[in-house]
Every structure is written in structure tokens, then in C-alpha cells.
Structure 1
Amino acid sequence: MKQAWQLSIAILAVAACAAAQAQYRDSAPRSAYGAGENVSYAYADVLRVEPVYELVRYREPRQECYDADVERVERGGGDPTGGTIVGAIIGGAIGNQVGKGNGRKAATVAGAVIGGAIGRDIDKNNGGPDRRYSSTEQRCRTVEVEREDRRIAGYDVEYNWKGDVYMSRLNYDPGNKLRLRISVSPAD
């Protein structure tokens, strides 16, 4: 019986300790970061906001066009029609001298075709001087151009909290009020 009574007292003592811990845990300060961190939030009045700029350099392709003088050469020789006709007549006459009957007709036609081609080439090659003329063409090329931009890198913010003035660099403009996260911990 004595052991049962000691066991009951031990169980009651454990239960009382658990209840006391639960009551302490419920009364401890809470924050968004968990119980017991001693964190709270407040708002400070913004006194001054100044943007901080940085100079950014970069290269950018750009098309650059210009007018260029171009000299063109056109081969002389004029109209090769006369040489073609004379060559066909001479070739046909020579072809007519070869063969008999239907062979003579075929040789005449072949001689006229070959003679016309030869006459055309001779007339074209033995024509007048080459014709030269100048013109203007637009030519383009891609070049790399270096540019500079002035960009906002952040904001120097001066604010007042509980009579003291503080300064912070932020990556945004907070406006008239700045939300503060206040954490309290014992000094070592």
C-alpha cells in the first residue's frame, strides 16, 4: 500500500510540473518567428529618402550604314546580231557543199547553226571598248557601341524611432512610414 501511495504522489508531481510548464509557455511573449524570441514590430517616421545611383556600362550592337562608290564594267561588243546572221550564211554555204540529197540538207542546217554561233562570238569579242560607269550602293555593318546608364541601386533612408534618428540603405522607397522589426535579447 505504501508503494501505491508513493506512485500516486509521483504521478501528481509530474502532472503539476507539466501544468506549470504549459501555463508558462502560454504566458511567454510570442512573435511571428515562434514563442520566446522577444520580437515585435513597430513603425518609424521617415525623415528623408535619397536614391543611390550606380553607373552601369554595357555594349550594344548597332547597324551602321554608309554610301559607297562602286565602279562597274560592262563588256563592249555591241549587238552581236549582225555577226550571227553573217556566220549562219557562211556556215550554211559551206555545209551545202558537203554530201548529196538529204545529207546535204542536214549539212546545210548544221553549218548554218555552227556558223551563226561562231559569228556571234566573233562579233561580241571584237566589238567596241568596255563600258565603265560608277554608281552608289548602300553598305551596312554591325558595330558594338558602348553605352552608360544611371540606375537606382538603393535608397538611403533616415528615420526617427522613439526620439532617435537612424539611417539604413534599403532596396525600396518605404514612403512616409518604415516598418521595424524589434528584437530584444540580454546583453552578454
Structure 2
Amino acid sequence: MLKPCEMPMKMLKLEALSRRLSSNHPKQERIKNDFRKIRTGFNGERSIGKELKNLPKEFRVFHDLRLDHDGSRYFQMDFLIITRYYCIIIEVKNFAGTLYFDRTYPQFIRSKDGQEQAYLDPLIQVDVQKSRLNDWLTFHKFPSLPIETLIANANSNTIIRTTPGFTPIFKNHGKRNPHHQNQYP
């Protein structure tokens, strides 16, 4: 792995801030909640990162890669895998509960403990990342490579549902060997 999984700086800062503030400080609860969210995400990324370490060395793996999109805006990818023949962007989630991908009204909803919460749809998120990476490669005069996108949920206790008939979310490339260099994932 060329850029390994390292604890995010924001997580370290929140942890230090929480230790320094008194337990009854009005922002203490928000700081602890923000820390838990970042830690959950990082733990998911670390879990996926352990699996990616098993890829052959021809696969260049970058974790938490942040690139300059246009001189003033940046975009970030949880994992970018680069081979001679294609790139793969992996967006990692670590959600527990039931995840519902609603294609009628493009949204992503998590149900857990009787509560529903809407999140940024990771399908839209990886499409934006793919477009920006493609622009970045073109701008920097890299050869054009096919870019695939994946969403990985690191929590094995998750149930995933979607609008009836919307099966592309479960795209399965099991017929292809991901270690074979002449095939796309």
C-alpha cells in the first residue's frame, strides 16, 4: 500500500480537545459525537485496508487520497487503486442497521434502533469522485484509464435494501478474476 491507513488528523485533534475540556463544557457532547463518527468511518476504512493489503503488488493502493481538482477545490477518495489498465475508487461506509437506496428519489436512508436518518447517497458521491478523477488525470496529462467505482460497507451486520428492480447497486463482477491484469473489474 503506497499510502497506508493512518488515523485522521481531525480524529486526533478531537480526541485531544475532548481531554482538555471539562466534562461539563457545553461543546463536549458534540465533540464526542464528531469523534465517534470519524472513528467509526476510520475503523471501516482500516478494515477494508487490511483486505486490500492482499492484492498483488501491481495494484497501487492509496488510502484517504486528497487531490486538487481545479486549483481551489479538492476532492477526496477513501481508496484509489491504480493498475496499468484501470483505476478503482472505493468509497467505504461503516453503517450498522438497514440501508435503503431509494432510486425513485435518489437518497440513502439508514434505519437503526427505530430511527431513520438520511445521508449523502454514496452512489452519487462516487460518480462525482470518478468525474473529478477523470478531469484530474486529463489535466495532468496521464493516459486515459477506465475508472470503476465501488461502495464497500465494512459492517457485516448491515442489511442493504433498494427500490424494487434496481439491481445495479449490487453489481457483481464475480465472473472476472480481479487479479488478471488484462480484464477490467
- TM superposition score normalised by structure 2: 0.19
Structure of greater Rg:
1
Higher strand content, 1 or 2: 1
- TM superposition score normalised by structure 1: 0.18
